[in-house]
């Protein structure tokens, strides 16, 4: 993880500017306006029912020929690697670097633990330059939480967003590439000592690097008319042991924290800890 002090160009930027840097829409790379951020803060609260996870359909027949008719399809491996069984804890981490194309850059780290294929129970830790650590969670009973380390308090409110943006949006965008029928293999590369394969979009704006044997995601890179984004991916499916399952629960990670159920106190905490933008 990059130390915040290593990024002098962002030292004086307000949190709103830092948040705005992420508004490079990965699925619409060529557009310069109205971009949806890949990593929106998940707890800009809106009333919403729990949303079931989108089941990934392995519709790979249209792209098998891109990689040749012989042997296993790399697309099949990459698609299968994204599927999350119900009996695991998904550990999803990204280390991101964004070049805005105007001489400024941003770095961040997001880490999510999600119980099984249903994204209703999760905990997320976000670290951005110039912003406090934001640690949030959603529980099985529909409660949304945020942890204030300074007060050692978990603030919570009923409802809220039941899906963390990171894993779900990442899967959706990569699946679009793999199902496009125009993605192509672009050779083997050494990725931190691992044999990996590059999969690129037809226009070269998206590059997906996966493990050559397993199809496991390693890096996702996009570029447009104004810079681009590179995400180093960790996508681990951990056994659903008691210890691993506890990683997805905020209260179990901070057992000595006070719990405040006042909805207004929760909103106040979000105002202090989440970036504006």
Structural domain boundaries, residue 123: 4-273
Answer yes or no: is pLDDT of 175 > 50: yes
Q: What is the pLDDT of residues 2-25, one digit of tens each?
A: 343 333 343 333 333 333 444 333
Q: What is the pLDDT of residues 87-132, one digit of tens each?
A: 999 999 999 999 888 889 888 899 999 998 777 899 999 987 777 8
pTM here is: 0.72
CA dist 17 and 98 (Å) reads 13
194, 76 contact by CB (below 8 A)? no
Give, in degrees to the nearest 5, the angle at Cα 50 between 108 and 91.
40
Work out how many domains the chain is built from and give that number.
1
Sheet arrangement for strand 122-128: 184-191, 194-200, 206-211, 217-223, 228-239, 88-99, 105-115, 122-128, 134-138, 143-148, 153-158, 258-260
CA dist 222 and 173 (Å) reads 11
Host H or E run for residue 19: helix 15-20
35, 228 contact by CB (below 8 A)? no
């Amino acid at each position: 993880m990059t130390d915040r002090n290593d990024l002098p160009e962002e030292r004086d930027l307000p949190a709103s500017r830092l948040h705005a840097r992420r508004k490079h829409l990965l699925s619409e790379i060529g557009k310069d306006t109205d971009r949806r951020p890949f990593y929106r803060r998940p707890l800009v609260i809106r009333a919403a029912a729990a949303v079931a996870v989108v089941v990934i359909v392995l519709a790979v027949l249209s792209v098998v020929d891109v990689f040749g008719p012989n042997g296993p399809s790399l697309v099949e491996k990459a698609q299968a690697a994204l599927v999350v069984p119900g009996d695991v804890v998904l550990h999803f981490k990204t280390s991101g670097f964004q070049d805005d194309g105007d001489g400024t850059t941003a770095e961040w780290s997001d880490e999510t633990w999600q119980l099984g294929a249903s994204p209703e129970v999760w905990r997320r830790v976000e670290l951005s330059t110039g912003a406090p650590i934001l640690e949030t969670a959603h529980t099985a009973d529909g409660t949304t939480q945020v942890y204030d380390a300074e007060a050692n308090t978990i603030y919570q409110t009923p409802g809220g967003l039941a899906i963390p943006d990171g894993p779900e949006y990442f899967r959706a965008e990569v699946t679009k590439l793999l199902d496009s029928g125009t993605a192509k293999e672009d050779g083997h590369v050494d990725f931190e000592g691992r044999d990996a394969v590059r999969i690129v979009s037809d226009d070269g704006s998206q590059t997906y690097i996966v493990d050559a044997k397993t199809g496991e995601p390693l890096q996702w890179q996009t570029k447009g008319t104004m810079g681009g984004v590179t995400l180093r991916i960790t996508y681990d499916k951990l056994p659903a042991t008691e210890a691993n399952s506890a990683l997805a629960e905020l209260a179990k990670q901070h057992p000595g924290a006070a719990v405040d159920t006042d909805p207004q106190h929760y909103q106040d905490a979000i105002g202090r800890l989440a970036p504006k933008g």
